[in-house]
């Protein structure tokens, strides 16, 4: 059961409702506060045996806007009613939500300083302040390049600061990596920010999810598990929120099945509206790991471009996309990387599709 308070409710009014909830045995009240798209949200979640708790006991209390019984397990990130406010948050001066488009273009894996400098320079020239840079790479084979790890963080962050990059999406595969990122950022004087990425292989690494949930310095980019149901991925993302961090972006990145061939994965961006309907999270798409191939369609646009369009026309507001100054020498996922000279065209395409999405939504389906 979720009790939603009026915006700007006083703490003592909230405390009175908490006391009311505590009168029921077997019910644990947990208070949650989030940033919504337009207002701050305060909710009291009643967990446990709530079947015998009447909703009108709470509906009549001062400061309470409404009470809903929820059937889904992912109660914090879940969207339980059509008018539930979507989550949004600001991080390092950048606003994330369902109305703000951000393209995180960058290298799958950090390799040389020259490549990172070249990529970030291209982003800065386009006024882009977000990028992706992998330092810790979860690879299928232990003999493949594993990422430069903590060693590259000082110069990656320094270059990011120099080029005005505000948020770097960076995967972590172990709790230790968060400490290394914190240390490197602090040492460098915090020239940039980091969005902690949970990769598809760690989508159900519950201990890692708890750790990224227990910190609130960095927002979290959660990638759906490539071989589990969407519902299971929602429950996994709930671990992050449940441990204290609701600043989550939910990322679709394709699912593993040979039915997606000739692409690397089956592009699952048809699920964008499902995530927007069933959760309150902003949605990201990763066309690079979905398509995973350098193919160019008959119309001259790379398949990766088309996948970007498919995600954005369905309402996603963030794109994670691999680029590389020299894909042929990339140490990870070179074949799926776009070339740096393609950045302006991709940004233009993304913005046009987003504008079209907004116009289509404003027109409605009737």
Q: Give yes or no for residue 324 binding ligand PEP (CB under 6 A).
A: no
The residue whose two tokens read 């590389």 is 324
For residues 327-362, b (16+ Cβ closer than 10 Å) or e, as one string? beebbbbbebbbebebbeebbebbeebbeebeeeee
The closest of 75, 61, 80 to 6, measured between CA atoms, is 61
The distance of closest approach from Cβ of residue 201 to ligand PEP in the complex, given in angstroms and rounded to an integer, is 6
Greatest distance between any 2 Cα atoms in the chain = 66
User: Going residue by residue from 278 to 317, which x/- string records binding to Mn ion, judged by CB under 5 A?
Assistant: ----------------------------------------
The residue whose two tokens read 């590259």 is 152
Q: Give yes or no for residue 177 binding ligand PEP (CB under 6 A).
A: no
- Rg of the chain (C-alpha set): 21
User: Going residue by residue from 71 to 110, which x/- string records binding to Mn ion, judged by CB under 5 A?
Assistant: -------------------------------------x--
Tell the burial category of 24 from Cβ atoms under 10 Å away from its Cβ (0-12, 13-18, 19+): middle
Q: Nearer to ligand PEP by C-beta: 199 or 315? A: 199
Q: Nearer to ligand PEP by C-beta: 84 or 322? A: 322
Contact region for ligand PEP (CB under 6 A) — 4-12, 98-106, 199-207, 335-343?
A: 199-207
The distance of closest approach from Cβ of residue 108 to ligand PEP in the complex, given in angstroms and rounded to an integer, is 5
**Given candidates 14, 17, 64, 108, which one binds ligand PEP under the rule CB under 6 A?**
108
Contact region for Mn ion (CB under 5 A) — 82-90, 247-255, 261-269, 330-338?
A: 330-338
Identify the H or E element spanning 162: helix 153-162
Q: Nearer to Mn ion by C-beta: 43 or 286? A: 286
Q: Nearer to Mn ion by C-beta: 105 or 108? A: 108
DSSP one-letter code for 202:
G
Q: Which does 193 bind (CB under 5 to 8 A by kind): ligand PEP, Mn ion, none?
A: none
Contact region for ligand PEP (CB under 6 A) — 33-41, 59-67, 115-123, 195-203?
A: 195-203
DSSP symbols for 246-295: --EEEEE--B--GGGTTSSSB--GGGHHHHHHHBSS-EEE-HHHHH-S--
The number of residues that bind ligand PEP (CB under 6 A) is: 10
Q: Please state, in angstroms and rounded to a whole number, the distance separating the CA atoms of residues 98 and 202.
A: 25
The residue whose two tokens read 């209390």 is 61
Which residues contact Mn ion by CB under 5 A? 108, 333
Give the interface with ligand PEP as residue ranges (CB under 6 A): 108, 134, 171, 199-201, 223, 253, 286, 289
């Amino acid at each position: 059961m979720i009790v939603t308070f009026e915006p700007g409710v006083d703490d003592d009014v909230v405390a009175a409702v908490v006391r009311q909830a505590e009168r029921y045995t077997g019910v644990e009240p947990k208070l949650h506060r989030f940033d919504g798209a337009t207002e701050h949200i305060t909710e009291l979640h009643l967990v446990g045996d709530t079947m015998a708790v009447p909703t009108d006991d709470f509906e009549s209390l001062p400061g309470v806007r409404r009470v809903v019984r929820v059937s889904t397990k992912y109660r914090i990130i879940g969207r339980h009613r059509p008018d539930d406010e979507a989550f949004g948050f600001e991080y390092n001066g950048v606003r994330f939500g369902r109305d703000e488009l951000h393209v995180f273009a960058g290298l799958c894996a950090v390799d040389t300083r020259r490549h990172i400098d070249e990529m970030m320079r291209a982003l800065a020239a386009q006024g882009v302040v977000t990028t992706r840079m992998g330092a810790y790479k979860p690879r299928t084979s232990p003999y493949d390049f594993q990422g430069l790890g903590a060693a590259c963080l000082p110069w990656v962050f320094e270059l990011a600061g120099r080029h005005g990059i505000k948020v770097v999406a960076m995967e972590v595969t172990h709790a230790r990596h968060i400490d290394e990122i914190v240390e490197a950022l602090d040492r460098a004087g915090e020239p940039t920010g980091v969005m902690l990425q949970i990769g598809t292989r760690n989508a159900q690494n519950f201990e890692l999810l708890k750790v990224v949930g227990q910190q609130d310095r960095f927002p979290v980019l959660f990638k759906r598990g490539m071989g589990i149901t969407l519902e299971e991925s929602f429950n996994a993302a709930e671990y992050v929120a449940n441990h204290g961090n609701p600043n989550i972006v939910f990322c679709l990145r394709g699912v593993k099945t040979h039915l997606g061939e000739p692409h690397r994965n089956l592009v699952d961006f048809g699920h964008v509206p499902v995530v927007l309907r069933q959760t309150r999270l902003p949605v990201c798409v990763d066309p690079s790991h979905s398509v995973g191939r350098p193919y160019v369609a008959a119309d001259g646009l790379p398949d990766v471009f088309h996948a970007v369009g498919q995600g954005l026309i369905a309402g996603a507001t963030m794109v994670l996309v691999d680029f590389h100054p020299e894909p042929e020498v990339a140490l990870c996922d070179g074949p799926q990387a776009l070339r740096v000279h393609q950045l302006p065209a991709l940004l233009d395409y993304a913005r046009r599709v987003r504008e079209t999405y907004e116009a289509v939504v404003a027109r409605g389906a009737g």
